[in-house]
Amino acid sequence: MLFGRNQKNPIKIADKGVVDWKYTTCGYCSTGCSIEVGLDDKGNAVATRGVASADVNRGKLCLKGIFEHELFNIPGRGDKPLMRENYYDAFEQTNWDTALDKVADEIKRIQSEHGRDAFAIVSTGQIMTEEFYTLGKLARGVIGTNNYDGNTTLCMASAVSGYKRSFGSDGPPGCYDDFEHTECLLAFGSNLPEQHPIIYWRLKQALEKRKFPVIVVDPRVTMFAQMADIHLPITPGTDLALLNSLAYVILDEGLEDPEYIKAHTNGYDEFRETVQHYDPVSASKICGIDEDTIRLVARTYAKAGKAMSIWTMGINQSTHGSDGVCAINNLNLITGNIGKPGGTSLSITGQCNAMGTREWSSCSGLPGYRALEKEQDREDIAKFWGIDPEFFPKKRGLFQTDIFPAIETGQIKGLWIIATNPMTSMSNTPRIRKILEKLDFLVVQDAYQDCESNQYANVYFPAGVWAEKEGCFTNTERRVNLIRNVIKPYGDSKPDLWIFNQMAKRFEQGKKITFPETAEGVFDELRQLSKGRMLDYSGMSYEKLETQKGLQWPCTEGDETGSPRLYTDGKFQYPDGKAKLLALPFIDNNEVPDDEYPFWMNSGRVVEHFHTRTRTGKVGNINKFSPTPYMEMNPDSAKELGIVHGGYARLTSRRGDGVVMVQLTQRVPPNMVFIPFHFHECANRLSLGLLDPHSRQPAFKQCAVKIEAVIDQQAAAIRNKEARAY
């Protein structure tokens, strides 16, 4: 007789009928995993697998990558361009020429009636670098609007701003290989196991070979916090006070690296003066971490010899996000932990190509980390594009989070949204809805026509998605990866590059500038424009990117391969080559819980979903893990309010309300709830999103709510349906 496992059927791996595997790169998060998509004999994408020889993922993929081939042909994809007079009319299908002509005419009309900047463009971190560069050329060189920005203002803006303030330039200095060398890892507001599962796997690999302390700062007991040696459950929005206090202990106990400070930094005296106010006893009252733990962490970090910090949205999405980033950089500068293996200040990026937009989209300036404010940069780009430098503005225009209020005040009349879904992803969506309704003209360019923002569009452009196109993404560690075109775009949708090129042809300026038709042709312009610069691409080619599975910039002409780290020689991008130690007083300016709204509302992500779920919400094998809007709540607080596990609750903030299912868990403290922001029905109907003064990034993670049990589940369901309809 057979027992146990012998009784079971043997595992069979389904034969998907793959006849060809094609190389590409994952299009979700910024980890940058190399993927192969399997095609059957009819050319359908039927499977995905990780590429074993890729340095980033070494054959591994996370849940989202494993099912990525399913996103091409799912409900909601845009097939034909759509048009309508008013957003409340029904859309009608049209052809590309009519839709493109209409948009070009509306842009020209709005600009001639209200000025060039009255038409705004908001893009993304999720199209190819070549597409970003082309859009920048179109926005800055052809249409000529200065109100051009991207959703990276919701995401990486604080990191960009912090790097610029500390080091004189954007550019994450470290890499994943730093885990193999470090003696201490300090992570702020990052849930690596869920949000960057393969970077986390790289960390675990390093830890298996060699033990080193892992310290996680997060108000929730995340999966990352659970594996950490020390978890610091910080009071939301107070990381800056903690960081100043770590610096206090390091200086007070003489644990700093005086030679490094002297040789490579400016501003020490003022910095020292400011951190004097953050002794551990005073700081613990602000940040909620006891003074002994602050001392222990400071000593562990400073004495490690090689220590690295990583951070993500827990830092960036805060009213002092930029200061938080600078404070992390301060910590690494005073301990001499920049540019050495295992010693770095590494911002973990978000979207697959949030880096590419920073480098090449011209959103905040001009391509290749050039600035509108610099005459030489304006002249160089104008010459390269063949236009008059006077066509460029002399300073950057509004950030995404200021563009929307400028629509409210009537300063901006028309908007083009590309590969982002602000109707779900921006804070205070009841206000965003009114703003979108107020526009004279809205065009939405998205791979999925059912994204919420499209409900307010006059014209919809159906775009190709991910491997329906060709081009590059830059990942967290500055690695430029290639996305090969695996299958042709769905229906009559078109690559974003094609759409931008067609639009350019409809403008006078567009006839002066040349627009390469292929992604590789555009890449060649990037190589030329990057030569000799910090982000040098001149040693790269598509072929080399494919054979080496990505190359890290700088990669100079003649170089066999890329460079894993920046600032290895201690020379920074400020004119005198020194980094800045910045004095950063903590100002408490958040909306905090009070008697009326007694809970913190924290928001973020879960492993199975990506952002506004236009993709993962429709992939059955992923959506099944969390198909319903829900929140994490502490069982003790739930009991007091008569709320049960699996029941429903209504949350109300000063902006709006939302109904969610309740998951009881000790992951959150009694005075906090955590809501995955993936669902349109909840998090951002409530969030406040106060802005960081430097980066203009919203504090998505801090606001106050009240909570009540919802007994009538049917009423809750109707409520959510209504919320969706808006």
Ligand X SMILES: Nc1nc2c(c(=O)[nH]1)N[C@H]1C(S)=C(S)[C@@H](COP(=O)(O)OP(=O)(O)OC[C@H]3O[C@@H](n4cnc5c(=O)[nH]c(N)nc54)[C@H](O)[C@@H]3O)O[C@H]1N2
Q: Are 500 and 134 in contact (CB under 8 A)?
A: yes
687 binds ligand X (CB under 6 A): yes
Neighbouring CB atoms inside 10 A of 226's CB total: 11
- Is 206 an interacting residue with respect to ligand X (CB under 6 A)? no
Amino acid identity, position 423: M
Does 677 bind ligand X (CB under 6 A)? Our answer is: yes
- Neighbouring C-alpha atoms within 13 Å toward the C-beta of 345: 27
Residue 274 touches which of Mo ion, ligand X, ligand SF4, none (CB < 5 to 8 A by kind)?
A: none
Angle at CA of residue 146, ends 142 and 148, nearest 5°: 90
Interacting positions 198-237 with ligand SF4 (CB under 6 A): 198
**Residue 398 binding target from ligand SF4, ligand X, Mo ion, none, CB below 5 to 8 Å by type:** none
Up-side HSE of residue 654: CA atoms within 13 Å toward CB?
13
Binding residues among 141-200 for ligand SF4 as defined by CB under 6 A: 196-198
Binders of ligand X among residues 8 to 47 (CB under 6 A) are: 29
- SS3 assignment, position 664: strand
* 619 token code pair: 């992939």
List the single partner that 191 binds among ligand X, Mo ion, ligand SF4, none, CB under 5 to 8 Å by kind: ligand X
Nearest to 315 by CA among 193, 218, 414: 218
Q: Which of 80, 494, 565, 609 binds ligand X (CB under 6 A)?
A: 609
| Residue 428 near which of ligand SF4, Mo ion, ligand X, none (CB within 5-8 Å, type-dependent) | none
124 binds ligand X per the rule CB under 6 A: yes
Q: What is the SS3 assignment for 18-47?
A: CCEEEEEECCCECCCCEEEEEECCCCCEEE
Distance linking the first and last C-alpha atoms of the chain: 62
Q: How far is the CB of 155 from ligand SF4 (least distance, A)?
A: 15
Query: Per CB under 6 A, does 612 bind ligand X?
Result: yes
Closer CB to ligand X, 385 or 416, in the complex: 416
Q: How many angstroms separate the CA atoms of 497 and 471, rounded?
A: 10
Looking at this protein, which amino acid is placed at residue 593?
P
Neighbours of 567 (CB within 10 A): 21
Cβ proximity to Mo ion: between 155 and 242 the closer is: 155
Residue nearest to ligand SF4 (CB): 65
If one asks whether residue 353 binds ligand SF4 (CB under 6 A), the answer comes out as: no
Rule CB under 5 A: choose which of 172, 173, 350, 689 binds Mo ion. 350
527, two tokens: 């190589």
Indicate whether 65 belongs to the interface with ligand SF4 (CB under 6 A).
yes
3-class DSSP state of 613: coil
Q: Compare residues 330 and 476 and give the one whose CB is closer to ligand SF4.
A: 476
48, 182, 245, 312: which one contacts ligand X (CB under 6 A)?
Answer: 312
HSE-CB for 22 with a 13 A CA cutoff: 21
The CA–CA distances, whole Å, from 388 to 25, 84, 226, 702 equal 38, 37, 57, 45
Task: Identify what 609 binds: ligand SF4, Mo ion, ligand X, none; CB under 5 to 8 Å per kind.
Answer: ligand X
- As separate numbers, helices (DSSP H) first and strands (DSSP E) second, the chain gives 27, 26
User: Is 222 among the residues that bind ligand X (CB under 6 A)?
Assistant: yes
| Reduced DSSP (H G I as helix, E B as strand, rest coil) percent helix, strand, coil of the chain, to 5 | 40, 20, 45
Neighbouring residues of 533: CB distance < 8 A, sequence distance ≥ 6: 368, 369, 554
Q: What is the Cα–Cα distance from 671 to 99, expressed in whole angstroms?
A: 50
369-376 contacts, C-beta under 8 A, 24 or more apart: 369/169, 369/170, 369/171, 369/533, 369/534, 369/535, 372/396
Using the contact rule CB under 6 A, the part of the chain among 259-267, 332-340, 627-635, 680-688 near ligand X is 680-688
One-letter amino acid at 527 equals R
From ligand SF4, Mo ion, ligand X, none, which one binds at residue 700 (CB under 5 to 8 Å depending on kind)? ligand X
In sequence order, what are the beta bridge partners of 58?
Answer: none
- Comparing CA positions, the residue from 65, 76, 28, 69 lying closest to residue 486 is 69
Does the protein bind Mo ion through residue 155 (CB under 5 A)?
Answer: yes
| Residue 94 binding: pick among Mo ion, ligand SF4, ligand X, none (C-beta 5-8 Å cut-off by kind) | none
Residue 445 makes contact with ligand X by CB under 6 A? yes
Residue number with CB closer to ligand SF4 (54 or 331): 54
Is position 234 an interface residue for ligand X (rule: CB under 6 A)?
A: yes
Of residues 392 through 431, those in contact with ligand X by CB under 6 A are 418-422, 425
Q: Select the residue interacting with ligand X from 164, 320, 611, 694 (CB under 6 A).
A: 611
Minimum gap (Å) between residue 199 Cβ and ligand SF4: 7
Q: Are 127 and 111 in contact (CB under 8 A)?
A: no
Helices 321-334 and 157-167 cross at an angle (nearest 10°) of 40
Binding residues for ligand X, total number by CB under 6 A? 60
526 binds Mo ion (CB under 5 A): no
Q: Which of 218, 377, 440, 681 binds ligand X (CB under 6 A)?
A: 218
Q: Is 551 in the site for Mo ion (CB under 5 A)?
A: no
Short-list 444, 501, 495, 497, CA closest to 468:
495
Q: Does 604 bind Mo ion (CB under 5 A)?
A: no
- The 14-53 site mask, x for binding ligand SF4 (CB under 6 A), equals ------------x-xx-xxx--------------------
In the complex with ligand X, the residue whose CB is nearer, 66 or 465, is 465
Q: How far is the CB of 197 from ligand SF4 (least distance, A)?
A: 5
Site size toward ligand SF4, by CB under 6 A: 14
Amino acid at 380: D
- Cβ neighbours of 292 (radius 10 Å): 10
Least spacing, CB of residue 325 vs ligand SF4, in Å? 22
Residue 483 in the binding site for ligand SF4 (CB under 6 A): no
Q: Using CB under 6 A, which of 39, 51, 61, 480 touches ligand SF4?
A: 61
On whether the CB atoms of residues 326 and 168 are closer than 8 A, the answer is no
Residue with tokens 């949030």: 354
Q: Which residues bind ligand SF4 (CB under 6 A)?
A: 26, 28-29, 31-33, 57, 61-62, 64-65, 196-198
Q: Which residues bind ligand X (CB under 6 A)?
A: 29, 124, 126-127, 151, 154-155, 188-191, 194-196, 217-220, 222, 234, 236-237, 239, 312-314, 317-318, 350-351, 418-422, 425, 445-448, 451, 463, 465, 496, 602-605, 607, 609-612, 614, 677, 683-684, 687, 700-701
Q: Which residues bind Mo ion (CB under 5 A)?
A: 155, 350
